[in-house]
Amino acid sequence: GENVEQHPSTLSVQEGDSAVIKCTYSDSASNYFPWYKQELGKRPQLIIDIRSNVGEKKDQRIAVTLNKTAKHFSLHITETQPEDSAVYFCAASIGGATNKLIFGTGTLLAVQP
């Protein structure tokens, strides 16, 4: 079946450094790739997304890149701040015509002040 692999499972960085989280998907028909941030006990919040017709998207300190050929997509956070500490999930749409998502296993990001 379809799956999404996410690495690393935990990531600790110093405040001001960059953080990179990588995901690999298996369904070649996937065409939508969102990233969610989830703080402890709270709902996942969409932070950025990318569609398959775009290779890169940036929103202030956050950027996402997509390599369709390799079925890889990555989240880049620059100038990290303590409030960036949370669990980050990548996801990929299943099939070309549905809005159903399959999620990665999550990355716990800790930004040390």
Partner 1 sequence: GAVVSQHPSWVICKSGTSVKIECRSLDFQATTMFWYRQFPKQSLMLMATSNEGSKATYEQGVEKDKFLINHASLTLSTLTVTSAHPEDSSFYICSAGKGYTDTQYFGPGTRLTVL
Candidate ranges 13-21, 35-43, 53-61, 70-78; the one touching partner 1 (CB under 8 A): 35-43
Six token digits for residue 81: 């701040």
Q: E strands along the chain, which residues?
A: 4-7, 10-14, 19-25, 32-38, 45-51, 56-59, 62-67, 72-77, 86-93, 101-103, 107-112
Q: Does 25 engage in binding with partner 1 (CB under 8 A)? A: no
Candidate ranges 54-62, 63-71, 72-80, 96-104; the one touching partner 1 (CB under 8 A): 96-104
Q: Does 53 engage in binding with partner 1 (CB under 8 A)? A: no
Q: Does 32 engage in binding with partner 1 (CB under 8 A)? A: yes
CB of 10 to partner 1, least distance (A): 11
